[in-house]
Amino acid sequence: MSYATLPKAELHMHIEGSFEPELMFNIAERNGIALPYDSVEALKAKYDFNNLQDFLDIYYQGCAVLLNEQDFYDLAWAYLLKAKEDHIVHTEIFFDPQSHTDRGITFDTVINGFYRAFKDGEAQLGITFRIIACFLRHLPEQAGFDIYPDILRHKDKIIGVGLDSSEVGHPPEKYQRLFQQAKKDGFKIVAHAGEEGPAEYIWQAIDLLEVDRIDHGNRCLDDEKLVQTIVDKGLALTVCPLSNLKLCVVDELKNHPIKAMLAKDLKATINSDDPAYFGGYINDNFRQLKQAVGLSDTEVKQLIINSFEASFLSKQEIDKHLKNVNDQAD
Ligand code: ADE
Ligand code: ZN
């Protein structure tokens, strides 16, 4: 049994974080935008981060070359080809609308480009998808309310809302009213919590935002009562090992807590977060993590089963995927 060829779902991937430098230069050139780097190599040399903010500064700069619907399409399509190579059969992707609308790009340009690519991916590559719109937590809650009518207008394309960007200093409680509204309107709720921020932020994501899933969640391990609550509620964690390494959430991959999470019955999943920036897509995450911490076949299979069980697919669709995993894993 190999993780590499088993069908799997990805639940934590920022589509803007799959922007490979080569494609970035390509799109910059066709849009007549000068990147502040001479070459792909010079840009890649900047991918050496000490923390989340170091990364976000570069990530938002990359977003700035995306102008037209076709740019958003091309970005998503490039990810889908990588996903296919890694045997991803279902993906639930994030996008950051405010990082585009704040530059004067219309919401419709962004969502229509992404959506068209994912519909083509479904038809041509057999990869199903869900789209989650994230609010940038370094901005005021009101900025989220300002963009919210656009998200609601595209509810046929967007299954849920999330919370990302700079975590520390921007606790979930700051966004409680916005997420209450989204919940009332029938959106699924997720939030980055406990990546750099403390366990308290995870409590808030659960109690105040009423999340359906926790993105990252590493810091729950600091609080036994929190771990028990997450397990009891059956909330999944979308864990991102190479991201954790590159953003110094863990010092070395061999110290990644994935085995401890599974041993505590936490429903952990493996995801690539921002693969173009962190050195690998989902199979790279499995490969390097397996090598570093020695995941057993049982643990690998559990992580893959979790990826479907924690998805926003219907029970019937989940069961179909689990049967395929079980058939191929034996
Ligand atoms: N935006 C893109 N990647 C992110 C991450 N890992 N944490 C928070 N915000 C993000
Ligand atoms: Zn993320």
Q: Is residue 198 part of a domain?
A: yes
Report the DSSP pairing between strands 188-193 and 236-239: unpaired
Tell me what percent of the residues of the chain surpass a pLDDT of 90: 99
3-state class of 223 per DSSP?
coil
Q: Give the span between the Cα atoms of 222 and 101, in whole angstroms.
A: 37
Q: What is the residue whose two structure tokens read 């992404």?
A: 114
Q: Is residue 55 part of a domain?
A: yes
What are φ and ψ of residue 239, in 5° steps?
Answer: -90, 145
Indicate the top mutation candidate among 246, 274, 277, 285 to test ligand 1's pocket, ranked by most ligand atoms within 8 A of CB.
274
Tell me what the mean pLDDT of segment 143-163 comes to.
Answer: 98
Q: Is residue 282 part of a domain?
A: yes
**Options 69, 195, 196, 309, the catalytic residue:** 195
In the reported structure, the alpha carbon of residue 82 is separated from the centroid of ligand 1 by a whole-number distance in angstroms of 20
How many residues belong to the chain?
330
Q: Is residue 3 part of a domain?
A: no
Q: Confidence band (pLDDT; 50, 70, 90) for 125? A: very high
Within a 13 Å sphere around the CA of 149, how many CA atoms are in the beta-carbon half?
A: 3
Atom 9, ligand 1: residue with shortest CA distance: 165
Q: Is residue 2 part of a domain?
A: no
Q: Is residue 149 part of a domain?
A: yes
Q: Confidence band (pLDDT; 50, 70, 90) for 91? A: very high
98 lines ligand 1 (CB under 6 A): no
Indicate the top mutation candidate among 49, 139, 165, 242 to test ligand 1's pocket, ranked by most ligand atoms within 8 A of CB.
165
User: Which is it for the CA torsion 211, 246, 282, 290, positive or negative?
Assistant: negative
Model pLDDT for residues 270-295, shown as the tens digit of each residue: 999 999 999 999 999 999 999 999 99
Tell me what pLDDT residue 319 has: 98
Active site residue 29: no
Provide the number of structural domains found in the chain: 1
Q: What is the residue whose two structure tokens read 């808030």?
A: 204
3-state class of 128 per DSSP?
strand
Task: Give residue 310's domain range.
Answer: 8-329
In the reported structure, the alpha carbon of residue 12 is separated from the centroid of ligand 2 by a whole-number distance in angstroms of 6
Atom 10, ligand 1: residue with shortest CA distance: 165
Tell me what pLDDT residue 219 has: 98
Tell me what pLDDT residue 177 has: 98
Q: Confidence band (pLDDT; 50, 70, 90) for 209? A: very high
Asked if pLDDT for residue 191 goes beyond 90, the answer is yes
Q: Are 13 and 272 in contact (CB under 8 A)?
A: yes
CATH number, domain of 273, equals 3.20.20.140
